[in-house]
Amino acid sequence: MASTSTQGPAETGSAHLREAQSAMRALLEDVGLAEARASEVGRTLGLDKSLASKIARFVKDEDPSSAARLMPGSGGVDIVIRAAEARGVAEGHVEAVRRADRALRAFVEKHAGDRRTFEAMFATGPSGGLDLEVRRDLYRSASAAWGVRARTQFLTLAARPSETRPGKLDFVKVGGFVEFERLRPDVPWIISRFHTQDDHGAERYEVEREPLEPGREGGMPFMTRHCSHPVPEINRFERGGVVYDELAPGPIGRRGAVTVVTGERYLGPVSHERSPGNEWGVYPLLVRTPIEGLQFDLLLHPDLSHFGPARLARRGLLEDRPHSGRGYAEWDTEGAPSLRAPFATSAGRVPRYSELLSEAFERAGWDGLDGYRGYRAEVAYPLAPSEVTLMCEIGGV
């Protein structure tokens, strides 16, 4: 194996994994199992189904994160070696597997201490890089600790140039929680916070907000047909320029689960023209509730063709690190998946999503979704607290 003296622990661990995979692959090839399926590996070597599946996948996996999870235990490696020896495998291949396995386990013990920590060393982000099982465990623990959980948190933002405020954007916003449960009856829970800011997190804007459903000025902008009934009790208050919506305490468990869906129109809160401090359209969604799944859609009007493709960024908020001041171009992002039209039919996490979008656009007095571009961030068991952000670079008009 090449020297790893100048590498960090993650790179060194990855090199040890590759060595173990290479040695095990050579051993399988020597008994005629190159590229074999798990069933053939198990049948030829007399392995149980679980171990055969793990070995067959381990030797082929190119992603260090998933390879670390598939790494067989020392007992499993011994079983494979004995079975291969019985098939007449060359001693050199056996010794290579033993040597690579010893080196890998010595690294785990020295730098990680245990398997789970070793696997976490290869995580690449605050949510997506962590094993689904790890994120699910964190969700369950957070639910027990805080006394709340929900099946889905969702947000849909549709943006178009304002007809009444030249150079500005109007938005239709619908979102909320599906099957929000309290596990303790005395827990109020803030379900949304609202403010806007420039690229550097400094400037605050006055935002004119209108509920999509009439007759609710000054109150919660419920989309009543899409909420559970009776409509949940929510208190709205403002502190330090931030408007909070808080779900009041209520019945516990599945029978007390509530669905909260709100809808609003924002009139000209931000510019859609590129200028210093406004090079990016940035749309964050805070995850502060233990949830099974997140769905965040951004829909852009055809007249916003100068907005680039949406980028997706995820960051943990446990330490609440401030912006660096270097601008959003420095963020670690990935391309956000595009949505195929019609968007209204592409949401499995949100009940009656088609009806919800149609009603929201109709109440806002907007035309339909023809010609809109759509982007989606979708995460299973996202970490809480974290921030999921969709952002588009603003080009010249």
Report the alpha-carbon distance of residue 252 to residue 87 in Å, rounded: 60
pLDDT of 128 reads 44
388, 377 Cβ separation under 8 angstroms: yes
**Hey, what's the torsion of the CAs at 265, 322, 278, 379, to 10 degrees?**
-50
Angle, vertex CA 82, rays to CA 17 and CA 103, nearest 5? 25
Bridge-partner residues for 42, per DSSP? none
- Give the HSE-up count for residue 206: Cα atoms under 13 Å, Cβ half-sphere: 0
pTM of the predicted structure, to 2 decimals: 0.73
Residue ranges of the chain whose pLDDT lies below 50: 1-5, 125-128, 196-199, 217
Q: Is 35 helix (H, G, I), strand (E, B) or coil?
A: coil
Q: How many CB atoms lie within 10 A of CB 321?
A: 9
Report the alpha-carbon distance of residue 375 to residue 311 in Å, rounded: 9
pLDDT of 173 reads 96
| pLDDT tens column, 147-198 | 999 999 999 999 999 999 999 999 999 999 999 999 998 888 998 877 644 4
Per domain, the residue ranges of the chain are: 9-120, 132-393
